Structure 1
Amino acid sequence: MEKNKTIIGLCGSLRKGSYNQMLLKVAASLLPDDVDFEIAKYDDIPVYNEDHDLPAVTERPESVTRFRALLATADAFIIASPEYNYSIPGGLKNVIDWASRGKDSPLMHKPVAVIGATQGLWGTVRMQAAFLPVFTFLNMNPVLQPEVLVAQAQNKFDESGNLNDEMTMSLIKEKINKLVSTCKI
């Protein structure tokens, strides 16, 4: 029996009612039946400090160990994030720093897709571009096309968090299909 593929979602916004959490839920609903999906929680992870990372210490903080173990189960990742100050939100960058360290990094060599929603007009284009050096360092396989840049997100979701923009839905579906096709099991 063949193992299901596993995709882990990371959200760059921790706020309740986050449009990017909504985007991850849309992406999850578009995945094939043979793909397991989970959104990684990371609001309990401390700010990265090499004094608390290997090989400097014998073990990482428990929340970091748990987070890295979840990421290690992934065949691929979906990142949905807003753009903060033209870049990656600090909390998300922090957990990626924790996960990227060491030869046992659970991010190395894995496919990744980035999507993003914002209430502004640029649709997270700078945040998505800011990820490219990170992906290069980690030898990740980013799915770059189609770009999913959801501008004016407040007009594209209803009160229940359902996406009501067909073009955006179509782009997400295409990006998800490309991501799934790059997964190796």
Structure 2
Amino acid sequence: MKVIAFGASTSSSSINKALATYTANLIEGADVQVLDIANYNVPMFSEDTEKEIGQAEGAQAFLRDLSEADAFVISFAEHNGHYPAAYKNLFDWATRIDRSVFGEKPAVYLATSPGPGGAQTVLGAAVGSAPYFGGNVKASVSVPSFYENFDLDTGKVKNEEIASQLKEAVSALN
């Protein structure tokens, strides 16, 4: 099984990318490819820009990479209760090319933040809107207080209860 994982953040030290990577690698025998959405350059979306350039190459490349997956592990960063602007912009471009961005492939949606809320607001929005964009969410997990529950040096979850929730979530992909 080829699993595409990414954090919906362009931060080079993204805690959501770390969480997605860790979680995807819990899937036994999976070929995991971790994407960095910062590599998919697109201009700020507007209909005028779309008329001028057509389909943004970065969005086309993003969709090509997603099409290679059998399953997804995506961790959503939260900025003021919403998707980060860079992810939302890339996603908007991608949906103009193919509204079914995720192609009905099984997915685990995650979210984390440094605080106790665990980015639950954006996770709820992502899970709620997934069916409109070909999202087939099999499980979702919010991880609160990231730095208390994850060891960045080892790249592993420290909290056994959370580790168990993540293992159970990815088991839904098989």
Q: TM-score if structure 2 supplies the norm length?
A: 0.84
1:148 matched residue in structure 2: 141
Shift of 1:46: 2.5
Could you tell me which of 20, 26, 36 is aligned with 1:30?
26
Following the alignment from structure 1 to structure 2, what is the Cα–Cα distance between the partners of residues 64 and 58? 12
**Larger relative helix fraction:** 2
* 1:45, distance to aligned residue in structure 2 (A): 2.8
Q: Aligned runs of 1:42-61 on 2, under 5 Å?
A: 42-43=37-38, 44-53=41-50, 56=51, 60-61=55-56
Q: 1:167 to 1:136 in 2, by over 3 A?
A: same
Identity of aligned residues (%): 26
1:8 is aligned, of 1, 4, 18, to 4
Deviation (angstroms), 1:52 = 4.8
CA drift at 1:64: 2.2
Matched, 1:177 2:154: no
Q: What are the ranges of 5 or more consecutive residues in structure 2 without an aligned counterpart?
A: none
Q: TM-score, normalised by structure 1?
A: 0.80
Shift of 1:47: 2.3
Where does the alignment leave 5 or more consecutive residues of structure 1 unmatched? none
Q: Give matches, 1:161-176, under 5 Å.
A: 161-176=155-170
User: Distance between the aligned counterparts of 1:176 and 1:143, measured in 2?
Assistant: 8
Off by >6 Å, runs of 4+ in structure 1:
none
